[in-house]
Structures are given as structure tokens and as C-alpha cells.
Structure 1
């Protein structure tokens, strides 16, 4: 026997052999069969009784066929195998019960899947359920004619009516299975949407890493991918369509996206995206509404994404202080505005990344930068105040750019450095040191 046609088990051997079908096929296409299918099964009481008596044999044969023909069934835990067997048994029992009441709606008799717990759908896929239904119907078909033919009312006509009844019932069972899984998919989709909203909200609120990780894990989200939060105004387009488009763009960029629409604000959590800034630029053009779009700093994983979200939120608040800001704009490019709006994180960042390195570098860098800023960015006036050559000032300003990554000669970065120096002096204990002011002579 091949793998597709396994040898019959002892239980299946107990079923009578199937007589050969009529080669002419006339009985399958007659008017009588069409009437029987439309009006109801109309099988005799003797046939129903014989099917009821054969229920145990059919159930055992179905289970045996699943054992030999469905590898996934054999690998299920014992409790789940038991539930699947009960579903198959309930299917045949409901079929016989429906035959006793032909006037009853066939759909009302196909509640076989209500026998199993909801958790079983997580272990048995729709494809496997189709295989289960096909196996059960095949086993019943193979033994149906012989069981029906043993009765006084048996014969080709009675066998045809029984087969038509089984055909009608199996069709409705298939539709019932599809409906069960469709409802489960819809419920799962709605639940996932709510859970996604909770994850985005947890990131924005700065909940603990464990809370964010547990909720994201329930979504099947990869926790260890680099994560970037992008925040901006939501567009006037329908929310559902916007969310789908954002996810599609993120997938095109090699990653995934969690999306949350909170009133007039759109929050996108990008994970695993190769170039978050380029992706944010595409989103800003197509999905965000008018107004500033801020890209938070990239962090190592989703559980710590609250750091990126805090920076992005602070940037959204402070962005109006820089009308010429690019779109999207990095939260780190808004450090001066964020500091002025009261963001303590931005204040510390400016001090730690500009003032402290210049103070520790020595070489009169802080002194030269202070004089340069005090004279409005004039090299000659700065050189005169320090009693040095203008080329010396140029060299020191290049060193400032190397130390803190902001170039004093660029107007925007000069403003950043001026804000950093002011914050640095304010942060000094005891009123600060005057050692960074311009000297009075050489």
C-alpha cells in the first residue's frame, strides 16, 4: 500500500465492502436524485436504524483512518486527540440525528465543532480540519452503501438517497468549519488590534520593560530588533487604511511596524527597519498629516522603546520653536528647543555631549568657543579678543567640532552650542566656574 492509500485497519475492515458503482452513472443524474437533494434526505426508518447501530463501527474506523492517514493527528497530545475524536464522532451522530428529521434545517445539525474547546483551534489549523472532514466523509462513504443495502428497503434507490443526504450534510459541515475559523480569525484580528494599541500606549507612557515585553510577546513581536518611534499628526484618511499602508511600507523597508492612532496623533513604532529615517520620510509624505513629524532615537529593542518615544514626544512639543525644521526631523536635532521647553533629558544631553567634553578637552577650546559666540561668529573679532591669530581660532573651532560633533561655523549648530554652554554653566555647582570666559591677555 502507498502512503496515500494505507492498508485498512481492523476497525475499518469491520465495515462491509463497497459495491462497485454503476458504470453508466444514470442513477446519479436522475430526476429522483435531484428531488431528494432539494426536498430532504427522505431515507427509510430502517436505514436510519442501521446507521445508528453502525455508529460505533464508523467512529472507530474514522479514528483508525486518522491514525494512519493524518500524521499531525498522531502527534497531538492525548487530550487534544480525544477532542478531535469526539468532533468526528459528533459529526456522524449529528448526521444520523438529522436523518430522523428531514424537515429540520441541515445547518442546525452541523454544530459539531461546538463539541471541542476554543483552545483546540490554536492546535488544529483550518487545513487540518479540512483533512479531518475529508477523512471522516470518505470513511462513511466507503461503508454507507453496504450498511444501507442490508435493510429490507435497501437497494440502489435507497443507497442513492443516503449518498445524497451525506453529500448535502458534508457540504454544510465544510461551510460550518469555514465559518468557525472565520469567526476565530475576526476575533483574533480584533484582539490583536486592541493588544497592539495597548503596546503602543505602554511605549508612550513609559511602562516597565517587562510590561511592554509581555504584551509584545503576546502579539508574536520580535523583542530584540532595533526600534525607532516616529510621531506626528494623523492624516484625514480612514484609520484602517492608513494603518495597513504603514505596515506595508515598514515591510518593504525590511521590518515591521506597530501603529497607534490617538486622536489627531499617529504613532508608528518601527522595528528591524534598515533605514528608519528614510522610512520616516516616506511615511511623512504619504501617511502623516500636516505638521512636524519627529523621529526618536533608535534603541536596541522594543522593551526600551519608551526612551525613543519620550524624545519623539518632546520633539513634537518643541518643534514649533523651529519653523524651518526639516520634515521629518530627528528628536536629537531639536535638543535646544526641547531644553527650552523644559525637557530635562535634552538639557542633560546638551551638557553631557557638548559642554563637558569641551571642558575636559582643555586647550582653550571652551574659552575660544565662548569668545567666538560672544562676537557673533566673527573670526577676526574673536582673535583680537583672545590676542591670537585668526588661523589659531580656525584651528580651535575645528577641534571643537571634532570633540562635540557640532560645527560652530554653521548657524544652526552654533545655536545648539550656545544653548549647551548656557546650560552647562547653569549646571555647575556653586554658580559655575568663570574659567571658560575669554582671557584678558596673553
Structure 2
């Protein structure tokens, strides 16, 4: 609690708080405009983030300082905890600490300058009170924001060497380490569903003027959050912004998994894709803890094959990709199947169209939209592909061969 109080600010504080509340919408817009104009890192943030989290924190800051002027008291623990939480999220997204702190000072300066410009001679006591309380308010805010940011950075660094990461490393190396599981606060389950993820980019990662790293990290944070919310037990993860490895714990032995288990995993993948705002493709292989070391390379290879064969986003098992997996192994069959698409090497647009058509689940309009061409152009190119290769992407009996050929051709190149 500050030494200031309502008696010391008196009516002067009331004048300022009424002005702030009456001008809140205009000040919010002015602060947001100055943030993007004067702090380059904010200019590169996705529009969604600026109009969402950042705008909310501006409104909260205006309301908090209006309360300070009204009561003469500094923000309490609950209000400061909200600021700490916001700084934690910004740290997760990779925003520099100096930009976050500067944003609060810039907002305070905008409010102070705006009130000073409108003040009359009789408002001098209010102006004096405002500047006095503003300095104290910024001290509290800066402390809370810095604490949140530093804590998150320490947590991020610590996670790299956390007990769960050590457990994941042990499993990937073929060691069933009960002690490592205990240190992580976990009990080894009967089995794991080993997921190899391939994550596509969020739209913001390609938006002009947007900080692509911030957008990608935001996507990754959403994936971690969704896994934590919808996984029974604790998933062990090694993820980057383009995918990685996830071990989903299961109390059911891998040999006894039922269709319901796979349906649940498919639903989880749908949630991950919705949360990420990006395509998510996953290959899944069940394994007992002691078999993870043999299984995770298979899952990784299956995910690579699914992506190479232009499979749509979704969940894939070995039985879904058995043909492509087998043909992707070195040998005469691999060379023969890969050669089926050799006639397209001189026609980059045809190979691109075939890949997009398969990836969009044979949807001609979706393919045309992805390629930015007319649907009739897609149809023309598909017919030309058939003429050159003898394989028809619209004929169900040719689809397994096309997927296998595209896999071998892509991996071979």
C-alpha cells in the first residue's frame, strides 16, 4: 500500500480519474497507435494479438490507474498478478523485456500528456497529484512485469533440463528409468502412444510485416496448452514450431488398444489443429515404455512419408501407410515406383498440382484456392498428368499407387 491516500489527493484525484474514465476508448486507441508506431516489436505482432491481449492490458492499465487516482492507493496483489501473468505470456512469445516495460511507460506518458494538454489553470493540483502518483504506480507495475518476465525465462531455461525431459531422453534411449519417472512426479504407464507431429505454419507466419517468430511461438504455446488440457496423465514432449515428438501415456497395454482409444487420439489431434490455427499431421505407433527407443524412429519416418505423399492433415498409423513405408525402403521396387512420376519432372506446375490435389483430399476447389488458379485449370492439369503418367488422380484404384509414387519420388529427390 502506498503512502498516498484519498485524503492527500482529495478532489484533485477525482478530477483525473473522471477524465481517464471518460476518455478511456480514445486513450486506448491512441496508446495502441503509439505502440505500433514507436516500438517496432509491437508493429510486427499479429493483428489478433494487438486487438486481443494487448488491447485488454491497455484497458486494464487505464482502469487501474483511474482507481489509483480515485483512492490514492497502489494496485493490490490481484491486480499486480494480472500484470505478472501478461508479462509471462509475452516472455513465452519471445517479446523483449525492454519492449514490454517501454509499453507501460509509453502508455503512462500518453495519458499524462493528454490530460496536461486539456488541463486548465485550476487543474494544476490535479496535474501535480497525477504526476506524483504516476511515478509510484509505474514503480509497482515495472516490478510486477519484470518479476513475471524473469520467472518465465528462468522456467523456460529450467525446462530444458527438467526431470520430464530427462525421462523422455531415457525412454528414447531405451532405458526404463523408474527413478527418473519418480523425480518427474510421474509413474510409468502401461504404454505410450508415440506421436510424430508435422505442424504447418499459422497464417500469421506468412503475413506481411508480422514477426514470424512471435507468431510461431504463439502457435507452439497453444499446442502445449491444449496437450496439457486434454491429455490423461502427462504427455512427454519434444516440440518445435514445425512439429516433433509426443509420448501420450496410456493405462492400456499397446496390444489391447481399441477403436475407442484411436478415436480419442483423433479428437485430440482435431483440438490441437484448432488451437494451433494450423495443419497438424501425426503418425502414431503404440509402444510399451521399454520399446519407445525402437518405435519413435518408425513414427518419425511415417510422419515424413505421410507429408511426402501429400496426405491431408490427420492421424496415420502404420497400416495406413504400409505400402508407402515398404516402398520407401531402398531397392528396385522403390526406384520403379518413384520413376512413375518422372514424366512430371519437366512440368513443375503439374507436380505441384498433384501434390495439392492429394493433400486437399481430392477437393478440386480447395486445390484451386491453394494454388490461386481456376478450378478448370486444376482439371486440365490433372488430365495432363494422366496423359503423361497413365495414372488418374480422380480414379480411386490409382490413388494408392499415386501416394506411393509421390512418396518415393519426393524422398528420392
Superposition TM-score, scaled by structure 1 size: 0.36
**More helix by percentage:** 2
Structure exhibiting the larger radius of gyration computed from Cα positions: 1
**What is the TM-score when the length of structure 2 is the normalising length?**
0.38
